[in-house]
Amino acid sequence: MVAIGVLAATWGMAQDGQGKTTVLYDRESRYYRILVVEYETEKRLCLHFSKTRGIQSSMLIGDPVALDLRYCRTMVAGLALVPEAKDVLLVGLGGASLPKFIQKNFPDIRLDIVEIDPDVVKVCQKFFHFEGTPNTRVFVMDGRMYMKRAEKKYDVILLDAYAADHIPFHLTTAEFIRMVRDHLKPGGAVVSNLWEHGLNRFYFAELKTFQETFPQSYILPAGSSGNIIVFGSLDEPKVAADEWVRRAKAASADKDLGFDLPALVGQEYRYLKDQAIREKALTDDAAPVDTLRRENPKYFEEEAAKQP
Amino acid sequence: MIRVIVLAAVFVSGAALMSLEMAGFRLVQPEFGSDIIVWGSLISVFLGGLAAGAYLGGRIADLGPSLWGLALILALAGGVALLIPAYADAVLEWTFPGQGAPLPQEWESAGAAGHLQVYLPPDLRWPTLEAGLLLFLMPSLLLGMTSPYAARLLIRAIGRVGAGVGTISGISTVGAIAGTLGTTFYLITWMGTRWLMAANGLVLLGLGAVLGLAHLASRPQPT
């Protein structure tokens, strides 16, 4: 899980002497450099996969189950989009924010988690209060390999698999998103965390993939955090903002989520399916998400055209 | 003239080798995941192919080197590269790691309360090596033959072996750099993985044809 924005600057700020930080864990794993950093002024514990790039996950030390990062709260809207979701899959464990939140607030959900790095799982257990429940399973493997092997179908699939600063290419392509779609139960939805397009020049290509793969698609920009959450749904009829808000109210009726989910949905709702996107979807054959090339000026035109 | 054509062949086969290797990662990663084991396996296969190719190529060259022989080696490598996209999916499917449902494994709970059910991944080592061998051993072996064969063609005097081998080795490596940077910076974006492999095949086939023609042109004319 990677979020940028307010907290992303924290590390740099802290090093400039504006707050005290303690590095609790700093070790190379097979896939990443894993850093667990305590920000004492902010009373937060954060997971990093790099000293210089954004944070993967953030936990309030006083309230380890609360969703601290804005984008995680927005992803919860996916659990409301599919009423009575029972089987949920999360690809990319990060600091286990969403798993802990789901375990506490939706204990009936059968939660499967796919995480490539066994050390990330151990760090979550040791530092981020991640514990097992009878309804929680962790699969330590590549997300795409899991999709290929797994036969189970899910109501909601949450995609949040990031390396230090990008999604691995084989988890961005139309082929992969179709594999994910084929693991949905009827009416199910896929929820993906994307970086907005000022940070991610494949943003529109990734949106296009969702548009093309699902009968319905929506966007909830996670405030000004730099994360945009895209939703692809198998549910044919369009879910209007007020209907989603109603579902969010039903899903959070007798719960204290720690934030106002219906209000969040109401404020951020955008319909994606009928938006015109000129980009082509990424494919296994051509998904240059990790190549070093100059920005294509077209992307900036797109952004300029979107401004009111 | 012959010298220039042979050195060009050395350059291009170095470039094609690395281009195939870089594109090979993109071909294999969707099935086997982004794991350092995938990189290790593929690089080892290419190095193994180069080693075997160098060994065999040198011996074949000593049987009687000719431009025709070099043309045949490059054309064969090109044919194999051209076919990789056609059979890659079947190979990847067949070697896919850990078929079937994963089994739960014992997991040390790292001091946290509550037993976490953890399923560990399949062993990737043999499946990635197997896929790598099936896909890339032949082309890298054939391309590995180029350098010793070219050395035998170009070096006439024993006193010139150092300079000759040095030149060939250097040109081959510069070609490899060109193939690596060209592929990763531009060509994968432009053509996509599979077309790029096929394009490498076509270039090698074309090179083989040029060498074949050069062979015909340079044959002593009957009197």
Q: What domains appear along chain A, each with residue ranges and CATH number? A: 6-60 (2.30.140), 70-271 (3.40.50.150)
What is the residue type of A233? S
Most confident of A6-20, A44-58, A99-113, B184-198: A99-113
What is the residue type of B62? D
User: Residue range A180-191: average pLDDT?
Assistant: 96
Residue A295's pLDDT is 47
Q: Quick one: which of A231, A125, A111, A19 has its CA closest to A11?
A: A19
Residue B105's pLDDT is 55
Quick one: three-class SS letters along chain B?
CHHHHHHHHHHHHHHHHHHHHHHHHHHHHHHHCCCHHHHHHHHHHHHHHHHHHHHHHHHHHHCCCCHHHHHHHHHHHHHHHHHHHHHHHHHHHHHCCCCCCCCEECCCCCCCCCCCEEECCCCCHHHHHHHHHHHHHHHHHHHHCHHHHHHHHHCCCHHHHHHHHHHHHHHHHHHHHHHHHHHHHHHHHHHCHHHHHHHHHHHHHHHHHHHHHHHHHHCCCCC
- pLDDT band of residue A7 (cuts 50, 70, 90) is very low
Percent of chain A having pLDDT more than 70?
86
Choose, out of A148, A167, A290, A293, the residue to mutate when testing the contact with B (most B CBs < 10 Å): A148
Instruction: Look at residue B92 and tell me whether its pLDDT is greater than 70.
Output: yes
Q: Which two tokens stand for residue B161?
A: 């072996």
- pLDDT band of residue B34 (cuts 50, 70, 90) is confident
Residues of B in contact with A151 (CB under 8 A): 101
pLDDT digits (tens, 9 = 90+) for A27-38: 988 888 899 999
Under DSSP, the state recorded for A272 is -
Q: Would strands A216-221 and A136-140 be described as parallel, antiparallel, or unpaired?
A: unpaired
**B66 in a domain, yes or no?**
yes
Residues of A in contact with B114 (CB under 8 A): 131-133
Choose, out of A29, A114, A142, the residue to mutate when testing the contact with B (most B CBs < 10 Å): A142
What is the span of the domain harbouring residue B142? 2-97+123-218
Nearest CB to A140 within list B29, B119, B185 = B119
- pLDDT band of residue A53 (cuts 50, 70, 90) is low
Instruction: Look at residue B6 and tell me whether its pLDDT is greater than 80.
Output: yes
User: Residue range A1-12: average pLDDT?
Assistant: 46
- For residue B45, the domain's CATH number is 1.20.1250.20
Are the C-beta atoms of B43 and B18 separated by less than 8 Å?
no
Instruction: Look at residue A229 and tell me whether its pLDDT is greater than 90.
Output: yes
**B104 in a domain, yes or no?**
no
Give dist(CA A221, CA A224) in Å, integer: 8
Q: Would strands A55-60 and A21-28 be described as parallel, antiparallel, or unpaired?
A: unpaired
**B10 in a domain, yes or no?**
yes
- pLDDT band of residue A84 (cuts 50, 70, 90) is very high
Tally of domains in chain B: 1
Residues of A in contact with B112 (CB under 8 A): 125-126, 129-131
**B92 in a domain, yes or no?**
yes
pLDDT digits (tens, 9 = 90+) for B115-173: 788 888 788 888 899 999 999 999 999 999 999 999 999 988 888 899 999 999 999 99
Give how far A124 is from chain B: nearest CA, Å.
9
Under DSSP, the state recorded for A143 is H
Residue B40's pLDDT is 93
Instruction: Look at residue A247 and tell me whether its pLDDT is greater than 50.
Output: yes
pLDDT digits (tens, 9 = 90+) for B35-45: 888 899 999 99
Percent of chain B having pLDDT more than 90?
64
* Average pLDDT of chain B, as a whole number: 89
pLDDT digits (tens, 9 = 90+) for A140-152: 989 998 998 888 9
* φ/ψ (deg, to 5) at A138: -120, 125
**B223 in a domain, yes or no?**
no
Residues of B in contact with A168 (CB under 8 A): 29, 34
Nearest CB to B33 within list A138, A145, A284 = A145
A238 compared with B221, residue with greater pLDDT: A238
**B116 in a domain, yes or no?**
no
Instruction: Look at residue B78 and tell me whether its pLDDT is greater than 90.
Output: yes
Whether A122 has its CB under 8 Å from any CB of chain B: the answer is: yes
Choose, out of B89, B118, B128, the residue to mutate when testing the contact with A (most A CBs < 10 Å): B118
Indicate the pTM of the whole model. 0.82
Choose, out of A149, A180, A294, the residue to mutate when testing the contact with B (most B CBs < 10 Å): A149
pLDDT digits (tens, 9 = 90+) for B180-218: 999 988 888 788 889 999 999 999 999 999 999 999 988
Give dist(CA A56, CA B85) in Å, integer: 37
**B127 in a domain, yes or no?**
yes
Nearest CB to A136 within list B111, B117, B120 = B117
Give the number of other CB atoms < 10 A from CB of residue B72. Answer: 17
Q: Which of residues 181-210 of B touch A (CB under 8 A)?
A: 184-186, 188-189, 191-195
Check A126 against B110: CB less than 8 A apart: yes
Chain B residue whose CA is closest to A167:
B34
User: Residue range A90-95: average pLDDT?
Assistant: 94
Residue A175's pLDDT is 93
Residue B35's pLDDT is 80
- Would you give the end-to-end CA distance of chain A in angstroms? 31
**B102 in a domain, yes or no?**
no
